[in-house]
Amino acid sequence: MAADTAEERIASLGLDVPDFVRDGYYGGGFGTMKPYHLSGSLLFLSGHVPRTNKGIVHPGRLGRNVTVKQGYEAARVTGLNVLAGIRQAVGSLERVTSIVRSLNFVVCTEDFTEVHKVSSGMSDLFVEVFGPERGLGGRATIGVMALANGHCFETWVTVEVA
């Protein structure tokens, strides 16, 4: 029997989504901000990065000391943090009607042009969890020179919720 809900899919995939309700959103350590803003049915999440309780996942720069495969993994871990942020904001992933869009930042060398392959780590995760209708949103990915604490990836995500 196939998993029907986002939470069932998470369990069947063996994903470990952090608990920001219990542990708090880590973003406060990066300066003055709130973790999210809910306006009507639109949820705007603050920046999320590939950080776990063990530290930063694949710090560095794509095209220098981080491979595309590692960047993809970092983006996927970031996606797990986004799921935690959604739960923190609205209580349940079942309230998600659509991933609207993500704006992604990849730290890379000036000649690295595969930033889109890195962001697919997060996009693929959302499709796995929510299915293609709810999980596939618009996306832009930008190569940048630096992010806080050496992270190789960061995202802003907008979500439509019921």
The predicted pLDDT at position 2 comes to 58
Rounded Cα gap, residues 50 and 55, in angstroms = 9
Confidence check: pLDDT of 116 > 70: yes
The predicted pLDDT at position 60 comes to 98
Rounded Cα gap, residues 130 and 145, in angstroms = 32
Domains and CATH numbers, the chain: 6-161 (3.30.1330.40)
pLDDT band at 120 (very low <50, low <70, confident <90, very high): very high
Q: For residue range 25-61, what is the model confidence (pLDDT) as tens digits?
A: 888 778 888 999 999 999 999 999 999 999 999 999 9
Rounded Cα gap, residues 61 and 40, in angstroms = 37
Tell me what the mean pLDDT of segment 88-107 comes to.
Answer: 98
Q: For residue range 121-134, what is the model confidence (pLDDT) as tens digits?
A: 999 999 999 999 99
